Amino acid sequence: MAQSQPFTVVESGNTQPKAFIIVGGGVFGLSTVIWLLKRHPGCTVILVDPTELSNPKAASHDISKILRDDYPNVCYAPLAIEAMDCWRTNGLFKDYYHEVGVLRADPDGHNEKAQSAHRSLGHDSGPAG
């Protein structure tokens, strides 16, 4: 397990070092580490994972690497839309992101609910059905 060395981060006269512990070295955990290091340069970030990276039990370890935006929850859907836009446009990710389509079997009404959530956000994610 890798650990960064502690540094002091000064914000608004506060000289207390900022330290963060991230549990899980999958995509979300590692993305959080990157964000924290950009947001708080010099902070201490400790990543805790039961195995060496990459953990074969992590959800992000599978070979399909599917990112989807079909969430019917209007609170969660904008996050998925933003994440997909980041993958498409961010210089760090865009060369590795390829939209190739997906075939799914969803519960009745799932796709229509997801489309409705997207429309309520002013986003068109394609035809329903």
Q: What is the pLDDT along the chain (129 residues), one digit of tens a residue?
A: 455 555 454 556 666 668 999 998 888 888 899 999 998 988 999 999 888 877 777 766 666 566 777 788 888 888 888 888 988 999 888 888 888 876 767 778 888 888 888 888 888 766 554
Phi, psi dihedral angles at 108 (to 5 degrees): -50, 130
**Structural domain of 108:** 64-120
Phi, psi dihedral angles at 117 (to 5 degrees): -60, -45
- Give yes or no: residues 5 and 39 share one domain: yes
CB count in 10 Å sphere of residue 44: 18
Q: Write out the DSSP string of the chain.
A: --BPPP----BTTB-PPPEEEEE--SHHHHHHHHHHHHHSTT-EEEEE-SSSSSPTTSGGGSSS---------TTTHHHHHHHHHHHHH-TTTGGG-----------TTHHHHHHHHHHHTT-------
Beta carbons of 47 and 25 less than 8 angstroms apart:
yes
Evaluate whether residue 106 is within a structural domain.
Answer: yes
What total of structural domains would you count in the chain?
2
The pTM assigned to this predicted structure is 0.47
Structure tokens that stand for 43 in this block: 């902070």
For residue 63, the model assigns a pLDDT of 61
- Give yes or no: residues 98 and 71 share one domain: yes
For residue 34, the model assigns a pLDDT of 92
For residue 68, the model assigns a pLDDT of 74
Give bridge partners of residue 23 from the DSSP assignment.
Answer: 48
Rounded distance, CA 83 to CA 109, Å?
Answer: 24
Evaluate whether residue 46 is within a structural domain.
Answer: yes
Evaluate whether residue 28 is within a structural domain.
Answer: yes
- Give yes or no: residues 18 and 39 share one domain: yes
Evaluate whether residue 126 is within a structural domain.
Answer: no
